[in-house]
Structure 1
Amino acid sequence: MCFSFNCDSKFVKKKMASSRTQERSKIKPPQKYLKESILVERGEPSVYALKLKKESETSPKYHLGKENLQIANKVIMMMGASGSGKTTLINGMINYILGVQWGDEFRFKLIDEVTGRNQAESQTSEVRAYVVNYQEGLKIPCSLTFVDTPGFGDTRGIEQDKKLVEKIREFFSIPGGIDHIDCVCFVVKASTNRLTAAEKYVFDSVLSIFGKDIKENIQFLITFADSQTPLVLEAIKTADVPCAKDGKGNPVHFKFNNSALFANNVMGDRESPNFDEMFWKMGIISMKTYFDSLSKLNARSLTLTKEVLRERKELETVVQGLLPQIKTGLVKLEELKETEQVLDQHKADMAANRDFEYEIPVTVKVKQDLSGAHQYATNCKNCKVTCHYPCWGTWDRLNRLCSAISFFSGKCNVCPSKCSASDHHNQNYQFKDEIRKEKKTYAELKKKYEHAYHGVMTAEQLIWHLSQEYIKVRENLFENIERASQSLRRLEEIALKPNPLSTPEYIDMLIASEEEECKLGYQKRIQLLKEVKKEAEIIQKIAKKEALLPEEEEMMSERGDKGKFRLIARYWKRRAMNILPK
């Protein structure tokens, strides 16, 4: 009797446990997440913010549900201009994935349309990854990671768009972050008949950070769509955006209309819910079509993309280092020319060994404090120049990781003397060159060079050494441009799209900067920048294997084994001989 009761008791307990398990399994994902979500707007339907868990304190990843490493994870990157409907589309996708029905009394939001934040975030305008971990009952058979980027092309202008591209670069460079990507999705409005300058710039800039192997995984998600052929397709083709193509030669695209996502779904006295329900059902079909297509895409490793990122960053650091060195060279050239004019005017004084006074522009090194901005710069203690700004930290032992330092040689790619990593320090200030007018005397000039070269110097030798000093600065500048050219050629081999800024265009930016700032002597520097641009155009032609003009061929052929400009040297020697008395 007792034995029989025990068996029955065990059987009953087992049956009850099985029943509870079955009941739990019958709870559909929408109801499960509804219990854990936060009500943000009461209505018909009410809107709830999904509760997400941050992967770690410093990670840009947020998880929905328990991580399941045994299930494949599809990664899609979402990009779109401000107002393109990107955030609403992502929210529409999450409602589809969780299985929300038209008649349900609730809708979910993964991201807020106004703030661009999820419930766990405190900062805006950052690249974030939202991982929807698979569980039984979801509408897709895998986990899904949304890489969400801030909207571009808003009223803050091109500078903000540049920051966006840098944030995307940083996101893909995070150790232990995203290691593959399944689809790069550009969200565009159906009615867009041409790409704006901001859209074209960001498209080209973002595509320039990806390897060529990603092309077939680039697709367009078209919002605010109807039954007509979207105008934006022609705009995409005109802009020649690299992407996957369908059998008709059109960019692979999917149409969405999310107008019914948060629409009132209670009939009442209105007939509009019937109309909204139709759009809801059309949206379900669009979502299913897209995710069925996504399941067939082959994932692309980000190994090549990270190589592009590394080389692009190195290139940009070198080009960034050109700016102060160009200006130093320009002022040095201005100093040389004005000194030459002074010497020309004082032939008789030099012949009689009489002293005279003159005024010339000079550059003075100053330290700009960065502590208030909580930023750091990598400075060379030998050359007294800033080689990389802003740089990531203050620990000198890791300065070989700075993009200005070659990881293999340990030498700096930016500073004039190409000093070693040990000569560089991460500091809370950067070096700036200030241009000032200073009074000099012929005696001081002569004494300076006699001290430097340990001997009495004739006037002819003096002007010769002045020209050599300029040639050295110019040579270093040319080597930097050559290095930029080598990186550009390499990037052309591996990058999907070239950087919108090539070297001549960069020098155009310097010219524009000089015109805007109007600092002392800017007109002469602009003229000299135009001369430097000619050399940059030669380098670009070499990179593209284009024919050179005869005078350009002469300039290139005059470069010696060590890269010295013998043509320029001979020019200055002739000038010196003409200036100085017999």
Structure 2
Amino acid sequence: MINAMINYMLGVKREDKIWFEITDDQSDRTQAHSQTSIITVYGFYLQESPIDLTIIDTPGYGDTHGVDLDKQIAVSLDSLSKSAEDIHEIDAVCLVIKATQNRLSDRQQYIFDAVQSLFGKDIAENILLLFAHSTGAPPKNALTAVKEAKIKCAVNDKNQPVFFLFDNCQSEAADEEYEMIQEQSWNLSFRGMAQFFEFLDTIQPKSLKMTRDVLQNKKQLEAKIFNLKSRVELMELKQNELKQTQEALEQNKEHVKNNKNFEYEVKVPYKEKVDIDPTVASMAMCCTVCEENCHYPGCWWVSNLSWCSMMKDNHCTVCTNKCHYKEHVKHAKIFVTKTKSETKTYEDLKRKYYGKIRDSKSLVKKLTENLQELEKEKIKLVIEAFDCVETLQKIALRTDSLFILQHIDFLVERLKEINEPEKAQTLENIKKRAGKEKQGAIGYFTRFLKK
């Protein structure tokens, strides 16, 4: 499709018996592989033409490399929009679909969902459908598949999707036996390309500002939920420790009453750093003070950590104490919560919470207060995660994207735990709107996550 665009701009005709194709620079195979694994930007500048053409290609979506690579595509697009390359607006987002398609596969549904979830709401009228392998007939089944998949795109005055037809087999050698068919394919593709470029003249390019906001909120939501899950796990383990301590006090109430020391055993949570495979997932940005994973997975920033998307005014927006970026490190390790059995004494307990005070009721009260503080932190983080979802609802093109849906059940459960039924219902409505047609794509997405 990209080669067809460039040959069209070069004015290549069938009688010229020539066809230009883009080739990789084979002098650096590693670089070529790296480029095609993430995104490739093609810049086309023809001296005789008043038009400059820039094409951003995102190959590899939904392939065997998994979701982490797909997230890197989003990060690369975000970085590109902030770079000095002057790609701060786009004229069109082109979705290439086979004209013979009867329905979108789970993989295609996942890919188109992932692409649409990158952009802000203002991009919808600039999304165009390019139907390949076309015979020139109206692609009725493919259009039905597009509608059933709820792909948002530009529409005409009859409120029907704007699409263009192609049969790009121009690079095949001329064959007298099939000359008529090859000529039809050529004419169909170049007519489609002419209509495509004519349509581009009628629409306004869109700034990538809202899209950058979407990408930023997605990254923050993912980091906060990952952090929230870790902190909830820690809280539950601490609650279990408290219960074991209370049981020990109850079992030894005569010793407590007489202020006699005694021993008891509890399972104590602790943090441990474990290695991650940097070839499978991006490295993690962790807070050394809070001992938390502030940006993982998806932290591709490798230089000054103050520029990480989780930082605001040089402080982290995720970790418990909102620590300065200098308290953070970037490496192939993450904090994992584990438990170990410890033998404690009643004297240890008193010293830890109340010094020489010997009132067991006050001791239990203090333990409870500590848990209440943890609960407040949990509530704050759950609300922050919900706010990220709500912001995405306002600005994202795809408000029921698989990215959001993967977190819905977890957040709904937590919102109910903190007595926020209305917020929980808001998220359940998002899931309801997504409908059954997304179940296959969700399954495909989940299988990727497991890999």
Instruction: Flag whether TM exceeds 0.5 (same fold).
Output: yes
Aligned residue number for residue 256 of structure 1 = 166
**AA paired with 1:97?**
M
C-alpha distance in 1, partners of 2:277/2:138? 54
Q: Which residue of 2 is the match for residue 239 of structure 1?
A: 149
Q: Does 1:210 align with 2:119?
A: yes
Of the three residues 176, 191, 194, the one matched with 1:288 is: 194
Matched residue, 2:442: none
Specify the alignment match of 1:71 in structure 2: none
Q: Are residue 132 (structure 1) and residue 35 (structure 2) matched?
A: no
Deviations 1:86-143 (A, max 9, x none): xxx212222222222324343221257xx9x99983523121110111322x6xx511
Task: Give the whole-Å Cα distance in 1 for the aligned partners of 2:269 and 2:47.
Answer: 65
> Greater relative contact order: 1 or 2 (C-alpha under 8 angstroms, separation 6 or more)?
2
**Which of 51, 68, 87 is the aligned partner of 1:142?**
51
Give 1:224's aligned residue. Answer: 133
Stretches of structure 2 lacking an aligned partner (at least 5 in a row)? 430-451
Q: Does structure 1 residue 121 correspond to structure 2 residue 3?
A: no
Question: 1:307-346 maps to which residues of 2 (within 5 A)?
Answer: 307-346=213-252
Alignment partners' CA distance in 2, 1:105 and 1:182: 31
User: Contact 2:316–2:325 (CA<8 Å) still a contact in 1?
Assistant: yes
1:37 corresponds to which residue? Answer: none
1:384 maps to which residue? 291
Cα deviation for residue 296 of structure 1 reads 1.9
Alpha-carbon distance, 1:402 to partner: 2.2
Distance 2:31 2:65 in 1: 26
Partner Cα separation in structure 2 for residue 266 and residue 208 of structure 1: 44
| Higher mean C-alpha displacement, 427-436 vs 288-297 | 427-436
Alpha-carbon separation, structure 2, partners of 1:314 and 1:243: 27
Show the counterpart of 1:468. 369
Paired position in structure 2 for 1:403? 309
Counterparts of 1:210 and 1:157 in 2: how far apart (Å)? 21
- Residue correspondences, number: 423
Supply the RMSD in Å over aligned alpha carbons.
3.4
Which residue does the alignment assign to 1:198?
107
Alignment partner for residue 365 of structure 1, among 263, 268, 271? 271
Describe how 1:263-282 pairs up with structure 2 within 5 A: 263-267=172-176, 271-282=177-188
Where 1:171 maps in the other structure, the secondary structure is helix
Please give the alpha-carbon distance, in whole angstroms, between the structure 2 residues aligned to 1:216 and 1:118. 38
Q: 1:442 to 1:179 in 2, by over 3 A?
A: same
Distance 1:531 1:465, change over 3 A: farther
Provide the secondary structure at the position in 1 that maps to 2:171: coil
Instruction: Report what 1:171 is aligned to.
Output: 80
1:493 aligns with 2:399: no
1:372 CA displacement = 7.0
Return the offset for 1:180: 0.8
1:534 corresponds in structure 2 to: 416
Matched, 1:432 2:338: no
Question: Using a 3 Å threshold, how does the CA distance of structure 1 residues 402 and 154 change in structure 2: closer, same or farther?
Answer: closer
Cα shift at 1:448: 4.3
The structure with the larger Rg is 1
Contact 2:286–2:330, Cα closer than 8 Å, also in 1: yes
**Is 2:93 the counterpart of 1:184?**
yes
Equivalent position of 1:419 in the other structure: 323
**Distance verdict in 2 for CA 1:339–1:401, change over 3 Å:** same
Given that 1:449 and 1:462 are in contact with CA atoms closer than 8 Å, whether structure 2 keeps it comes out as: no
For residues 309 and 422 of structure 2, what CA distance do their matches in structure 1 show?
Answer: 23
Opposite residue 456 of structure 1, the aligned amino acid is: I
SS at match of 1:109: coil
Matches within 5 A, 1:24-103: 89-103=1-15
* Change in 2 beyond 3 A, CA 1:191/1:156: farther
Q: Find 1:151's aligned residue among 32, 50, 60.
A: 60
Query: Given residue 374 of structure 2, which amino acid in structure 1 is its aligned partner?
Result: V
Give the whole-Å Cα distance in 2 for the aligned partners of 1:484 and 1:310: 13
Question: Which amino acid is the alignment partner of residue 158 of structure 2?
Answer: K
| Secondary structure at 2:306 match in 1 | helix
Whole-Å Cα distance in 2 between the matches of residues 264 and 376 of structure 1?
A: 47
Instruction: Please say if residues 393 and 426 of structure 1, whose CA atoms lie closer than 8 Å, have aligned partners that are also in contact.
Output: no
Relative to structure 1, is the Cα distance of residues 249 and 479 closer, same or farther in structure 2, using a 3 angstrom cutoff?
A: same
* Kept after mapping to 1: 8 A contact 2:62/2:70: yes
Q: Does the C-alpha gap of structure 1 residues 161 and 400 become closer, same or farther in structure 2, counting only changes over 3 Å?
A: closer
Question: What is the distance in 1 between the residues matched to 2:156 and 2:217?
Answer: 32
Q: TM-score, normalised by structure 2?
A: 0.81
- Taking a change above 3 Å as real, the CA distance of residues 287 and 176 of structure 1, as seen in their structure-2 partners, is closer
Looking at structure 1, the residues matched to 78 and 63 of structure 2 have their Cα atoms a distance apart, in angstroms, of: 20
Superimposed CA distance per residue, residues 164-202 of structure 1 (whole angstroms, 9 cap, x where no aligned partner): 444433433434441110001111112223333333333
Are positions 1:442 and 2:345 aligned together?
Answer: yes
Query: 1:458: which partner in 2?
Result: 359
Tell whether the 8 Å contact from 1:377 to 1:391 is kept in structure 2 after alignment. yes
Query: What is the rounded CA distance, in whole Å, between the counterparts of 1:102 and 1:478 in structure 2?
Result: 66
Report the AA paired with residue 105 of structure 2.
Answer: T
The question of whether the paired residues in 1 share the 8 Å contact of 2:98 and 2:142 is answered with: yes
CA–CA distance in 2 between the matches of 1:336 and 1:152? 47
User: Conserved in 1, the CA contact under 8 Å of 2:301 and 2:308?
Assistant: no
* Partner Cα separation in structure 1 for residue 19 and residue 190 of structure 2: 14
Alignment gaps of 5+ in structure 1: 1-88, 510-528, 548-582
1:193 and 1:445, CA in 2 relative to 1: closer, same or farther beyond 3 A? farther
CA contact (8 A) 2:294 2:310 kept: yes
Report the 3-state secondary structure (helix = DSSP H, G, I; strand = E; otherwise coil) of the residue aligned with 1:243: coil
C-alpha separation in 2, matches of 1:232 and 1:445: 71
Q: Provide the secondary structure at the position in 2 that maps to 1:106.
A: coil
